[in-house]
Structure 1
Amino acid sequence: MNESSASGGNPRTTILVLYFSRGGATRQLADAIAEGITAAGGEAMLRTVESDADAASARDLVVSTDDLHQCDGLILGSPTRFGHMASALQKFWESTSSDWLKGTLINKPAAVFTSTSSLHGGQESTLLSLALPLLHHGMLLTGVPYSQPSLHGKDAGGSPYGASHLQEAGLSDNEKQTAIALGRRVCQVAKACADSTIDC
């Protein structure tokens, strides 16, 4: 799907990390996820959506239709807004009807991540809300299996639904390791799909 590397080897697996971050907490997760993608031999394409210029995610380019076509997988992230994704991300997905009709994202692996200011601030409901447009686009939703040791922490974010972060401080070690594992897993699934002789 992507161009081969300059050395003439196999195409590089590109995972789109699409997120919105107001104060920087969700961006920290995006960076850790990108680290996992890179560790798996892939390329992380960090993108955001149209929003206020002072948003932390404004560091990255605004997502384009070409990004959706070129990526081999997508990981979607947002801070919690009353148990739901941020309105800027919702607005973006409401503009993707043409890609839905074309099947642009069908059979590409996907995952989700979020951050909250309190431990019971709606992390899991937000992760589920983030998953809905991905399912409607026909993506293959992945999570974090309980074989991941960092998922067993009791004082920070992270669930089988996706990576998450409690905004009291910087990423805890468990939160970072869960985010890295999520990025690595989506990249590995995307590679397996590319190598498969059947649609994943």
Structure 2
Amino acid sequence: MSTANILVVYFSRHGSVAAMAKHIARGAQRVPGVDVNVRQLAEASFNHEQTSANLPDDGYPYCELDDIANCDGLAIGSPSYFGSMAAPVKLMLDQTSPIWMSGQLADKPACGFASASTMHGGHEMTIQSMMIPLLHHGMIWAGLPYKNKALIATATGGTPYGVTHFAPHTQYTGMSDDEIALCEAQGQRLAELAIRLKK
């Protein structure tokens, strides 16, 4: 029986954030006694509605409110759109008011991850935009400490706010070794903190 349920939820248009989610989940799975669930988010319309069917054509299932309510640790990922989270991520967070009112996420760890197509495309601001609603939920932010040497060495993604990926091409072309190491370190840290806090 698992002692902590980790949820990795993301929106990815071109594959970069999806790849990050996979490595974050892999890092979390290193921790004994952890159950990891990965969920994706559907596209959103200008009417702030989910535009896709209930089940995706491929990849992970879509995230539901119960997935968020029942997690012991949350990793949330988004591409950077003008220095902020993508609309599907905002739409998901806006629907968590019932969880906020019940306090179900309070005192649980959370982290964020992001990808941008330019080096100065708002990586850190995107993570901060996702951080704010989760702080309102009473979650404890789990950044990425500099004890991870790849954070100092990286010439692509990084940040102590949460792991990022530099994706200079529209289509996903892979992650650097540093980015992979940091994603896995982020997932492992989230899972370790979830177990400690749950105890």
TM-score, normalised to structure 2's length? 0.88
Q: Once the 2 structures are TM-superposed, how far is the Cα of residue 71 of structure 1 from its aligned partner?
A: 1.1
- Match status 1:79 vs 2:92: no
Question: What is the rounded CA distance, in whole Å, between the counterparts of 1:58 and 1:49 in structure 2?
Answer: 12
Structure 2: gaps (5+ residues): 44-50
Q: Once the 2 structures are TM-superposed, how far is the Cα of residue 19 of structure 1 from its aligned partner?
A: 0.6
Which residue number corresponds to residue 165 of structure 2? Answer: 165
Q: Once the 2 structures are TM-superposed, how far is the Cα of residue 118 of structure 1 from its aligned partner?
A: 1.0
Superimposed CA distance per residue, residues 21-42 of structure 1 (whole angstroms, 9 cap, x where no aligned partner): 0010001110010010001122
- Match status 1:47 vs 2:51: no
Structure 1: gaps (5+ residues): 6-10, 196-200
Q: Once the 2 structures are TM-superposed, how far is the Cα of residue 193 of structure 1 from its aligned partner?
A: 1.0
Question: What is the rounded CA distance, in whole Å, between the counterparts of 1:85 and 1:13 in structure 2?
Answer: 27
Amino acid paired to 2:83: G
Matches within 5 A, 1:61-72: 61-72=61-72
Q: Once the 2 structures are TM-superposed, how far is the Cα of residue 153 of structure 1 from its aligned partner?
A: 2.4
Amino acid paired to 1:121: G
Aligned Cα root-mean-square deviation (Å): 1.8
Matches within 5 A, 1:39-188: 39-41=30-32, 42-51=34-43, 59-168=59-168, 169-188=173-192
Instruction: Check 1:14–1:159 CA distance in 2 against 1; reply closer, same or farther (3 A cut).
Output: same
Amino acid paired to 1:71: C
Residues 112 and 162, structure 1, Cα contact 8 Å, conserved in 2: yes
Identity of matched residues, %: 37
Question: What is the rounded CA distance, in whole Å, between the counterparts of 2:42 and 2:175 in structure 1?
Answer: 25
Runs of 4+, deviation exceeding 3 Å? none
SS at structure 1 position matched to 2:75: strand
TM-score, normalised to structure 1's length? 0.87
Residues 3 and 195, structure 2, Cα contact 8 Å, conserved in 1: no
